[in-house]
Chains A and B, each alone.
Chain A
Amino acid sequence: GAGVSQTPSNKVTEKGKYVELRCDPISGHTALYWYRQSLGQGPEFLIYFQGTGAADDSGLPNDRFFAVRPEGSVSTLKIQRTERGDSAVYLCASSLRGSSNYGYTFGSGTRLTVV
């Protein structure tokens, strides 16, 4: 597609449930990034993929968070046993390679609300 597509755009879930957030990057972009943006804050880095492998997962807050990119294109961010503090907008971005000029394109995000 023309841009980075994220689905769903909104997700409401109950505390303790499992959720999956999907990111479809720009075709041909080998690098993919997940960020989390809480209300009134800037985006915070979660994980970076180069191809199928996670090049840097140092931003994942704990082991309830996991992300995969099995074929080097679509990525899924998975959150187990959700907590109210996980409520945020989850942003995905992609770029050609691991772009040294930081030419990322962000998607519109998934707004996750844990009630």
Chain B
Amino acid sequence: GQQLNQSPQSMFIQEGEDVSMNCTSSSIFNTWLWYKQDPGEGPVLLIALYKAGELTSNGRLTAQFGITRKDSFLNISASIPSDVGIYFCAGPDYGGSQGNLIFGKGTKLSVKP
């Protein structure tokens, strides 16, 4: 079935640094979603991408939908302590219903003040 591979698995950075993480798949996705999950909470949608090549920003976050439709990137500029959390990429399982999302295993971000 479809799988999403995220890298790196974890990152330790200094406050103020830029962060880059990515998500790849062996199969094509027509939608890419990026979520952030804080401890003890559910995931929160950060950015949604619907078109190959699309570049979308949400404050200090920028995400891109890869041209091949098999990858996506999330960048965070000038990181701050509240950026700490786990970042997941996700996309719809086209073998399933509209309600069925596939998630990667996440990138855990730690920020040193």
Contact = CB atoms under 8 A, between A and B. Distances in A.
Interface stretch (A12-20, A73-81, A103-111): A103-111
B16 to A, nearest CB: 28
Contacts, number: 74
A102 B31 contact: yes
Interface of B: 4, 31, 33, 40-45, 48, 50, 88, 90, 92-93, 96-106
Interface string A85-115: 0000001010000111111101111000000
Interface of A, secondary structure class, is loop
A48 B97 contact: yes
A107 B41 CA distance: 7
A42 interface: yes
A41 B4 CA distance: 12
A103 B98 CA distance: 12
Contacts of B40: 108-109
